[in-house]
A and B are shown apart, each in its own frame.
Chain A
Amino acid sequence: MRARSLAFFMALFLAGNTTNAYEIGDTIDPEITEKLNIEHGKPAVIEFFASWCASCAKEIPEIHDFIREDKKNIVQVIGVDVDEELDDGKKFQSDLNISFPVYDDTDQRVVEAFGPIGMPALYYVIDNKVVRKRIGPINHIDDQIREDLGDLGIEL
């Protein structure tokens, strides 16, 4: 009886503390795939950013550098702006001249599904599956993306 009670309370505790954030190997919901317009069969790099995130402003020009290097357009780069205020997000995107497609996640549903523990956050998605993630600011993110893709067997 004691063991059953303990199991019950453990289950109750875990039920209140679990999050459904995507981890490596998880399949992305079709709803999110549609929102982000992820092309099937093409590796995707998803960058989460916000106007208030200073490191994001530093990383985005380096992501542009990576896109320029990807001449054969092998990788699909998608931005997710998590700003709740659309105007703030649009101003930030325009100030940085963002050239890749950006999803304005004003209701923060997409970022909640991914559940990164810090900003900026970078997710690698292949065949609708999260295959790698990089959380937090990274110097020379373009080099890091190239290295990560190489590890995943994708050469530019």
Chain B
Amino acid sequence: MIVSKIHKPLVYKKMLLISVSTLLLGGCAVQEVKPWQKGTLAKETMRFGGPNPMIKKFDEHIYTSKEGTKGGGGVSGGGCGCN
């Protein structure tokens, strides 16, 4: 009984420390992009190669020449496929 009384404040301190650390570390977490916040991601400037299609074509040409393969750079689908 005496031992638990001595240890109680220590336990609470530990819990408080973990809680505060969890909250602080939570602030560093990557915030997910919500489905309605994808306007910026949908902009042309966010595409591979940027808004200029020639840059992408040029990049693809280098890739094809060096790797001897092509394709696989596109993105398929657009919906969430929830239904």
**B69 at the A interface (CB under 8 A):** no
Chain B residues contacting A135 (CB-CB under 8 Å) are 80, 82-83
Restricting to A86-124, which residues have a CB under 8 Å from any CB of B?
88, 108, 111-112, 115-119, 121
Find out whether the CB atom of B38 lies under 8 angstroms from the CB atom of A8.
Answer: no
Query: Would A88 and B39 be within 8 Å (CB), given that A1-B11, A8-B15, A16-B26 are in contact?
Result: yes
Query: Would A118 and B82 be within 8 Å (CB), given that A84-B39, A85-B39 are in contact?
Result: yes
Report the count of interface residues on B (CB-CB < 8 A): 20
Q: Which residue of B lies closest to A8 (CB)?
A: B15
Looking at chain A, what size class is its interface with the partner chain?
A: 20 to 34
**B81 at the A interface (CB under 8 A):** yes
Find out whether the CB atom of B80 lies under 8 angstroms from the CB atom of A117.
Answer: yes
Partner of A118, one of B11, B35, B42: B35
Find out whether the CB atom of B42 lies under 8 angstroms from the CB atom of A52.
Answer: yes
Restricting to B15-31, which residues have a CB under 8 Å from any CB of A?
15, 18-19, 22, 26
Q: Which residue of B lies closest to A105 (CB)?
A: B36
Query: Would A108 and B79 be within 8 Å (CB), given that A1-B11, A5-B15 are in contact?
Result: no
Q: Which residue of B lies closest to A114 (CB)?
A: B36
Q: Which residue of A lies closest to B18 (CB)?
A: A9
Chain B residues contacting A134 (CB-CB under 8 Å) are 83
- Complex Cα distance A118/B80, Å? 6
Find out whether the CB atom of A50 lies under 8 angstroms from the CB atom of B15.
Answer: no
Find out whether the CB atom of B79 lies under 8 angstroms from the CB atom of A55.
Answer: yes
> Which of B38, B78, B79 lies at the interface centre, i.e. has the most chain A CB atoms within 10 A of its CB?
B79
Find out whether the CB atom of A119 lies under 8 angstroms from the CB atom of B15.
Answer: no
Find out whether the CB atom of A136 lies under 8 angstroms from the CB atom of B39.
Answer: no
**B37 at the A interface (CB under 8 A):** yes
- Complex Cα distance A83/B36, Å? 8
Chain A residues contacting B82 (CB-CB under 8 Å) are 117-118, 135-136
Partner of B36, one of A9, A55, A119, A136: A119
A-B contacts, 6 of them at CB < 8 A, read A5-B15, A48-B36, A50-B39, A111-B36, A119-B80, A138-B83
The 9 closest A-B pairs by CB, nearest first: A118-B80, A52-B42, A136-B82, A137-B79, A82-B36, A111-B36, A135-B82, A136-B80, A136-B79
